[in-house]
Amino acid sequence: MEIVDLTKRYHKKNVVLGINLHLEKTNYGLVGPNGAGKSTFIRMLAGVVQPTSGEIIYDYGKNIGYLSQKFGCIPELTVYEQMEYFACLKKSTNTKWEGEINSVLKMVNLTELKNEKCKNLSGGMIRRVGIAQALLGRPGLMLLDEPTAGLDPDERKSFSDIIRKLKGTMTIVLSTHIISDVKNACDIMLVLEKGVLVGVIDLEKNNDRDIEDLYFSALHGMVEK
């Protein structure tokens, strides 16, 4: 997947500026201070915000799984019905639904709760529903915007495990402000500051260094892009 000179301007202010990036089938952790443009960048990749300029070239068609920052479910639906709703949007055929939904629910450990009404789920469970829906239809690109915000440590660990298990099956971009989540789940750290991509850090190559050091070095221009 290729991102060419991607820019977003709101009210004459550059929120994202000239990002050029090539994405492989691996897990990317997108980090940066508040207001760095992480969500805008992710939302542009998801297609819900139109870039002011630049281009996104999807190698595998626009088959995207997306979990938004404020993801929620329809309270009256069961987990299974909520998955059916997203499957409908993804235009999966009826015959495919059942098996695929069960499969993704199993991946996120929600099989036992599939008949539970969404209004009875905790925040962490809803995040898992969010990941499950993003996985529906075997996307080539999965975008997760602050998926661990508001989760307790156990839920965050469980979440990181799920993401790690998916490594290598698709391109995953995980936006977060919690550096440790990146360490647990991602191979490459993308550092954004004031809309500019200031660091693309291979975590395996730098596994001898503390990830927070890497992050701050990137912010201070001490890491090669």
Partner 1 sequence: MNFSIWKYINKSKLLIAMELLLFCIPFGFALFFTKLGMTGFSLLHTIVRFNFYVCFFVVIISFYVISSANRYGYKEVSEAIAGKAIYENSALIYISTLLFIWNIGMCIILIVCSNMNDGSSFFLRWFPLNYVCNITIPQLICIILTYIISYSENASRWIMSEIGFLFLISPFSEEIVWTRKPDFPIDAIWNAFRWPFAILYQNGEWSPDVQNDFQLEKVRLLVLLFWIILLLGLSILTVYKKRMGIVFVLCSFIVLAVSYHSSSLYRLNSSWNGSKADYWYYDVENKNLNYEPTETMNYRITDYDFEVSFDYELSVSGDIHMSSDEKRDEFHMTLYHGYNVNKLSPLDLDTKIQFSQQGDDINIKVNKPVDDLNLHIEYAGHHNKFYSNSRGALLPGFFPWYPMVGEKQIFLKYGEYGDMYGYNPYNRVAMTHFILRTNQKIITNLSRVDAGMYEGDSDGITVLMGNLSDCVDPLICDYLPLSLYKGYNKEAFVNEQKQSYIESLNKIKDFYGIDVSELEKKKILFASKDIGRNYTNNFFAVFGDYILAAPGYITCDSILHYLILRDSENRGTRENAAIIKLFIMSNFDDTPEVIAEELLEKLKYRKDNEDEYSEKIEDIEDWITVISKTDRTYFVRNMVQYIMNPMLYGDERDFLNKMREGL
User: Which one, 81 or 206, has the nearer CB to partner 1?
Assistant: 81
**Cβ closer to partner 1: 74 or 222?**
74
Residues 8, 11, 13: CA angle, nearest 5 degrees: 55
77 contributes a contact to partner 1 by CB under 8 A = yes
Tell me if 126 sits within 8 A of 79, measured CB to CB.
Answer: no
Cα separation, 223 vs 21, whole angstroms: 16
116 binds partner 1 (CB under 8 A): no
Query: Closer to partner 1 at the Cβ: 94 or 207?
Result: 94
* 58 counts as binding partner 1 under rule CB under 8 A: no
Using the rule CB under 8 A, give the single segment among 19-27, 28-36, 72-80, 153-161 that binds partner 1. 72-80
Q: At closest approach, how far in Å is the CB of 180 from partner 1?
A: 25
DSSP labels for 9-66?
EETTEEEEEEEEEE--SSEEEEE-STTSSHHHHHHHHHTSS--SEEEEE-TT-S-EEE
**Which residues of this chain interact with partner 1, rule CB under 8 A?**
43, 46-48, 50, 64, 66-68, 70-77, 81, 84-86, 88-91, 130, 133-134, 143
